[in-house]
Homo-oligomer: A and B are copies of this chain.
Amino acid sequence: MNTKGATPEQYGLDTGGLSSLQIEVARKLMPIISTGRWAVGEKISDAALAREFGISRTPVRQVLQFLAEIGTVAQTDNRGFTLVRPPPVDENVDELVPPSEVDTLYRQIMHARANGLIGSEASETELLEYFGTSRGTVRRTLIRLSAEGLAERRDGHGWRFAECLDNRQAVNESYAFRAIIECGAVMEDTFCADPEALEALEREQTALLNAPLASIEGSAWFEANARFHETVVSWSNNRFLVQSIRRQNSLRRMTEYAEFAELSEAGVRKAARDHLAILEAINTDDRKLASAILFRHLSRSPAGAAVTPGRIED
């Protein structure tokens, strides 16, 4: 691999002139359009979107102008943007709007870590040469990893990566940890479910329960689960509990890169049923029941008999 003077283009990345924030916006916006929030011909307000995303109008307008170039929207003088036709299907998104450099490197590092290609410690320069990116990208990626608890600066020089959930022991500990955190969260005095969010989760889990297995993407399944657990814990209104679950999700996401968890019919349905039962219990404010189901849900059978070794079910 060429490690010197590498430009993004060499790696097939053509950012199409969009900045990283703009890329982020584009990748958020396109699915929204796809799901039909606006009818064809309807006006799309840049100011509203800016407010929704919590940023200024400038990057939003730039993305809309980009979408105008590819014919998704049209800009009329003094009348703003209107939808012409929904953007090309989501699968092309990566091609149309490639992930930012940081996103890419983030994935590469996670992948390399999960497969043992890089050790638990590394200096910036090492990574820089190994992946052939710029120092800044490496730096920002590491900062992001550290914000998620997946890496931390060592005293002196270099970075240390979190160990991955790469062995039976670590996975078991992770489950035990989550059981403690999540059951504790549900039983907190300050726990208070948000009805809207609860309903959204119910819809999502019901869909997972009924959809044909073949139509469920592995990553979609993972993210739905992660969202379920994180949302439930967030109702505890305790930032440290939430932070812990986020970290766990990040760790689990990382191992997901290594193994392509094949979904088993039984596992998926069981998990979705559990999730729905938990939501139901929360909805009727039977927190003890919710906690009990959660505990069982997160308890691995001690022998690990029913579970393929090293596989992550939920």
Contact = CB atoms under 8 A, between A and B. Distances in A.
A156 B240 contact: no
A174 B190 CA distance: 13
A68 interface: no
A239 B251 CA distance: 13
A243 B156 contact: no
B170 A54 contact: no
Interface in A145-174: 146-147, 149, 152, 154-156, 162-163, 170, 173-174
A260 interface: no
Nearest to A150: B239
Interface stretch (A30-38, A176-184, A220-228): A176-184
Contacts of A156: 21, 54-56, 59
**Which secondary structure characterizes the binding site on chain A?**
helix
A248 interface: yes
A238 interface: yes
A128 interface: no
Given A155-B21, A155-B24, A176 B238 contact: yes
Contacts of A185: 180
Given A239-B149, A240-B173, A54 B180 contact: no
A177 B54 contact: no
A240 B147 contact: no
A53 interface: yes
A289 interface: no
A134 interface: no
Contacts of A154: 54-55
Contacts of A170: 239
A183 to B, nearest CB: 8
Contacts of A24: 155
A188 interface: yes
A188 B163 contact: no
Interface string A241-256: 1011000100000000
Contacts of A174: 240
The 5 closest A-B pairs by CB, nearest first: A180-B184, A177-B240, A55-B156, A149-B243, A173-B238
8 contacts: A24-B155, A55-B154, A55-B155, A176-B238, A180-B184, A180-B185, A181-B184, A240-B248
